[in-house]
Amino acid sequence: METHEAGARAGGAAGRAGPHPPAAGVRSLSLPACLVVTAGAALIALAATMHLLMVFLHVAPQNTVSRQHAQAIDDYVLPEFEQNWKFFAPNPLQQNIAVQARAELRGPDGRTTVTPWTNLSALDGAGILHNPLPSHTRQNELRRAWDFYAATHDVQERPQGLRGRLSESYVRRIVVSRLGAQRDGRPVDRVQVRTVTTPIAPPPWSQEKADTTPVQRVLAWWPVTGDDLAEARTR
């Protein structure tokens, strides 16, 4: 009798306890699965760390590491992960810069004609307006090309070293690609660029006064090379 009662009590206790709950989390996986999950987590952590490091080196003041690996850093960050802090600067940009261009066409008789000025910045703006997903090229190619030129030329438009000469070629090729290699069957012989800088007027409630007269910066004529025309045809 005692044995029967003890067995009944043990059975009842086992029934109340129920089956053992399955192990949860990574511990429930097999060894190969654990290795795969661990490796995946390590790769994600490594990728996140490398991304943050590259962006930090891009925006941080120049140092030995960023100078030594500048090309690799720029190739990774630009253009998708570019960080522009001008909006939060103590003195944010307060002017609109319109990049304009015109072309000199050579006719069959050797005579040349000059096209009217084309506002390339306005064309880019029209392409962005009401576009929920504008291309990065449409937004930044022309603007960054002009910033590159302005940063590598003095007030007499003299290039500062190799970067200055490269910026001229870059701007010229963008202009040729936008205006076209020829018009009305006449090839483009030379191009000219100018910028029109218009200061932004203060808001009506502000007591600040500002001269909003546009200021022009006109560059010399640039001969169009065969490489410029070839680049324009590929775009």
- What would the pLDDT profile of 16-64 be if each residue is shown by its tens digit? 544 555 555 656 778 888 888 889 999 999 999 999 998 888 888 888 8
Instruction: Please tell me whether residues 100 and 186 are part of one structural domain.
Output: yes
| pLDDT value of position 215 | 94
What is the per-residue pLDDT for 92?
Answer: 67
For 108, phi then psi, to 5°, come to -60, -30
User: Count of alpha carbons within 13 Å of 190, Cβ hemisphere only?
Assistant: 12
Helix, strand, coil percentages (3-state) for the chain, rounded to 5, are 50, 15, 30
Same domain, 94 and 193: yes
Let me know whether 65 and 135 are in one domain.
no
Owning domain of residue 38: 28-83
pLDDT value, residue 120: 96
Q: With 70 as the cut, is the pLDDT of residue 90 above it? A: no
Asked if 78 and 100 sit in the same domain, the reply is no
Average pLDDT (110-115) is: 91
Q: What is the DSSP string of 46-79?
A: HHHHHHHHHHHHHHSPP-HHHHHTHHHHHHHHTT
Is 13 domain-assigned? no
The tokens for 188 are: 């483009």
Domain total in the chain: 2
Q: Which of 183, 200, 193 is nearest to 96 (CA)?
A: 200
First to last CA, the chain: 97
**Mean predicted confidence (pLDDT) in 127-140:** 87
- Give yes or no: residues 128 and 56 share one domain: no
7, part of any domain? no
pTM exceeding 0.85: no
Cβ neighbours of residue 100 closer than 8 Å, sequence gap 6 or more? 117, 118, 119, 120, 121, 193, 194, 195, 196
- Any bridge partners for residue 186, and if so which? 183
Q: Both 64 and 153 in a single domain?
A: no
The reply to whether 113 and 221 lie within a common domain is yes
Same domain, 230 and 120: yes
User: Is 18 domain-assigned?
Assistant: no
Structure tokens at 2: 């005692």
pLDDT, residue 235, reads: 67
Question: Is 197 part of a structural domain of the chain?
Answer: yes
Considering the domain architecture, whether residues 68 and 179 belong to the same structural domain is answered as no
Q: Is 51 left (phi over 0), alpha (psi -120 to 50) or beta?
A: alpha
For residues 62 and 8, the model is more confident at 62
Instruction: Evaluate if residue 218 carries a pLDDT over 90.
Output: yes
Do 79 and 156 belong together in one domain? no
Mean pLDDT of 186-210: 90
Residue 75, pLDDT > 70, answer yes
Last residue of a domain, one of 18, 52, 83: 83
- Tell me the pLDDT of the chain averaged across its residues: 84
